[in-house]
Amino acid sequence: MENNPFIEEIISQMTVEEKAAQMLQVPVSVIGMDAAREWAKKGVGSFLNVLGDDMKELAEISSKESRLKIPTIFGIDAVHGHCLNREATIFPSQLTMACTWNRDLVEKIGHVTATEVATEGIQWTFSPILCLARDARWGRTNETFGEDKFLAGELGVSIIKGYQGEDLGDDTAVLACAKHFIAYGEATGARDSYDTEITMRKIRDEFLPPFKKAVDAGCATFMTAYGSIDGTPLTANKKALRGLLRDELGFDGFLVTDWDTVNALINRQRVCDNHGDASRVAAEAGNDMIMSTLEFYDAVIEQVKSGKLEESYLDEAVRHILTIKYRLNLWEKPLKQGVPGSIGCDEHHEVALESARESVVLLKNKNNILPLGKNKDIKKIAVIGPNADDIRAQYGDWTYFTHPVPGIEKEPQRPYVTLLEGVKELAQGEDIEVVYSYGCSVNRREYYKGNFPGIPEFMEQCYADNDHDAPFYEEMPLISEAASAARDADVIVLALGDNYNCAGEYNDRADLNLSGMQEALVRVLETLHVPIITVLISSKPLAIPQVVKKSDAVICAFNGGMYGGKAIAEAIFGKINPCGRLPISFPVMTGQVPVYYNQFPGWHEGRYVDCPKDPLFAFGEGLSYTRYEYSDLKFNKDTLTVTVTVKNAGEVKGTEVVQVYIDDKFSSVMTAVKNLAGFERVELGAGESKTVSIKLEEEAFTVVLPDETRVIEPGDFDILVGHSSKNEDLLKVTVTF
C-alpha cells in the first residue's frame, strides 16, 4: 500500500480512541439512530444498513462534527442488485447469474447495481461471494457462483469490475468485497460457520484461485469467513489473513470481519474467554474493520493502553481503511452521487430481463415437447405449483423480504413477472387458455386455509402406502384441486422448488429432496397422463430423480429475479432459445453429495451400492432448441491456445457455451479427473459454423505440492473441449509438457 502523506498526517493526529473507532463498523438497524449519532461524533469508520435521511445525517456528523472530520463509509448487502431497497432493480441470484456463463453480462449487472447503490449515496457492497458450493446442503449455496474455482474466479472478476469501474472516485463506482476468506463453503457437513477440516495445500489448490483473481482485479475490500480451518477461526488466522492474503497475494485494500465474528471467538468458537483477548487476537491476525462487535472499541483501547497490544496494529488497520477512503474521494464527496432517477429505471430493468433470459437452463426435453405454441395443438395449459406465482420464492435470499432495513416495507413492489403471469401473457397471444392451482405448500407448516372439495378415491388409492400424518391430510384438498384443474389440460407447467425459509444463513439442509408435499403433488399429476413441464425455482440443486423421470421437460430457473417468470415463459413458448448452463451439479439423492464434477480418482468400483456415481445433471450441462457439433480440435502448446470448430446443426439460431477442461494424467499428488480451464460463448445461426479460440492460463497446468508450492510437472495432459463436463460431450487431444 502506497505511503500517502495525507493519510500519514491524519494517523499522526489520531488518539487511540479515534483509531479504535475508525476500525469499527456500526449496525444502525440494531442500535438505532440516537446511538449511531454518538458513534459518528467519535469518528466511527463505517455504518451498516442505513438509508435515506438517516444516512445523510450520519455522514454530515462524521464529516463535520467528529474531531478529525474523517468521512465514514456506508455499507449494504447489494448481492444481486440493490435488493434491500424494494424500488431497486432485482437481478437473478449469484448462482442464477452463473448459469449465464457470460462475463460481459455479469459485469453489466455489477455496474447497474453499483449505479443504484451509489445513487442511494452508499459506497460499499458486500459482494461477490467467491466461496465454492460443493455441497448443496449448505444454506448459502444460492449466494455463490457454483462449484467450480475457474468459473467463480472469472465471474467474480467481472462483477468486481462492474462494481468498481475504472476509478473508485467515480460517482457510479462502489467498493466490492470479496468474501468469505477462505474455504467457508467447505465446512464439514455443509454446516454454515462450522469448522473446515482441510489442509492449506487443498486451500491453495481449490479455494484460493478465485480470491487471487479478485486481488489481481483490484478488489478494494475482503471479508473474513465465519468458520475455521482445522480448528483455527478465520478471524484469528494469521497464516490466512496476513501470510496468504497480504504477504503472498499482495492485497492492499482493507479487510472486514463478518457479522460479530470477534464476539464469536468467545461465545461460539470458544478460543477466547474475554473481549480483550478476542479483540487483540483479531487485530493481530490482520482484521482492519470489525463488523458489529461494539465491545471491540473499549476492549482494544484497554489492550493498547495496558501494553498487551502494540498500537502499530491499529495504525496499520487505520492506514488500510483511510487509503481506501482516499481512493473513494470521500473528503470531497462524503456520499456517492450516482445517477439521479436511475434506481429501478427501464434501462436497468432491461438488464435484469436479459440476465434472466440467459440464465434459463433446459435440462430435459422429451420428444421435443418444447417449445409450446399453436403448432403443438395446445389449447389449455394448467400452471400448477407453490412457486408458480410466488415472487418471494423467485427472488430468493437477500432482498427486502428477507433482510429488511428501517424504512423499507416488505410488501412486493412492482414491476415483476412471476411464472404464472409470464405464461398467461404469452398464452393470450397464442389463444391458449390458462388455469392455475397452488397445488401444495413448499413447507408443510404453510398450509392453505381455504375450502376445497373432499379427497377423491383415486388420490387415496394413489397414496395408500403414504404416511397419513395430519399435514398430509391438510394438503390433500389442495392437491385434489390441482388435479381437477389439470385433468383436461393439454400440458401442465409445474413450478416446484424451495423458498427463502429453506436457504441462507442458519438454513442448512440435511435432506435435498423436495420439501412438503411436492413429491406427492407430482405423483398425483402423473396419474392424469398429461405432459408435465417441471420448472425448478429454488436456491440450489435438489435431488429430484423421480420428478425428472415423470416430467416430459425440465427447466432449472433457480432464483431469476424480477423478470425470472417472464424469461421462463419465453423459453417455454420458444420466444428465446435457452442457452443457460449449470454452474453446479445435481445429486441423484442427498447421500450422494458432494457430487461436484472434478472429483479425485481412486474410488473402488466408482459407485455406491444404492446410488450411481454420476450426478443427475452435471456441471456445464444445458440443452437448446438446436444442436451443436464439434470438430477439428487443436491445441497450440506455445501459446496455450485451444481452437475448435463448432457448428449449429439445427434449424434455429442459438448460443453455445464452449467449455475447455484439462486432465493431468499423472502427477506426484492426486489431481481431479478434470478441471475447467476456459470457456467462451458463441452465437450461431442455423447451419452456421465458427472456429473458436480460447487461450488458457498457465496455472491450469499446475499442481500444488505438499510443501504448498505450485509447479508444472512434466507429463501428459488431456485437453477436453465440448458442451459440458460429461465425457461423452467432450473431444480430446493430448499434449506433453
Question: Which domains does the chain show, CATH number per domain?
Answer: 352-574 (3.40.50.1700), 628-736 (2.60.40.10)
Cα distances (Å, whole numbers) of residue 515 to 476, 497, 511, 518? 15, 8, 8, 6
Segments of the chain scoring below 50 in pLDDT: 445-470
Q: What are phi and psi of 82, to 5 degrees?
A: -80, 60
Q: How far is it, in rounded angstroms, from Cα 94 to Cα 100?
A: 10
Identify the H or E element spanning 719: strand 716-722
Contacts for 188 with CB less than 8 Å, ≥ 6 apart? 194, 195, 196, 197
Identify the H or E element spanning 162: helix 149-164
Q: How far is it, in rounded angstroms, from Cα 550 to Cα 564?
A: 24
**Residue 444: its pLDDT value, please?**
54
Identify the H or E element spanning 33: helix 33-42
Q: Which residues of 38-76 are buried (b: 16+ CB within 10 A; e: fewer)?
A: ebbebbbbbbbbbbeebbeebbebbbeebeeebbbbbbb
Give the three cell numbers for residue 672. Answer: 481431479
Give the three cell numbers for residue 271. Answer: 478460543
The answer to whether the CB of 633 falls within 8 A of the CB of 697 is no
Q: What is the pLDDT of residues 249-280, one digit of tens each?
A: 999 999 999 999 999 999 999 999 999 999 99
CA trace torsion 161, 162, 166, 171 (10° rounding):
-150
Among 426, 421, 423, 416, which residue's Cα sits nearest to residue 563? 416
Q: In what order do the strands lie in the sheet with 221-224?
A: 177-181, 221-224, 254-256
Give the three cell numbers for residue 565. Answer: 417468470
**Residue 468: its pLDDT value, please?**
39
CA trace torsion 262, 265, 268, 272 (10° rounding):
-140
Identify the H or E element spanning 263: helix 261-267
On the question of a cis peptide bond just before residue 415, with omega within 30 degrees of 0, the verdict is: yes
Q: What angle do CA 577, 578, 579 make, to 5 degrees?
A: 110
Q: Taking the chain, what is the end-to-end CA distance rounded to the nearest angstrom?
A: 38
**Residue 360: its pLDDT value, please?**
98
**Residue 463: its pLDDT value, please?**
39
The answer to whether the CB of 211 falls within 8 A of the CB of 176 is no
Determine the angle formed by the axes of helices 5-13 and 311-327, rounding to 10 degrees: 140
Q: How many CB atoms lie within 10 A of CB 304?
A: 21
The answer to whether the CB of 538 falls within 8 A of the CB of 479 is no
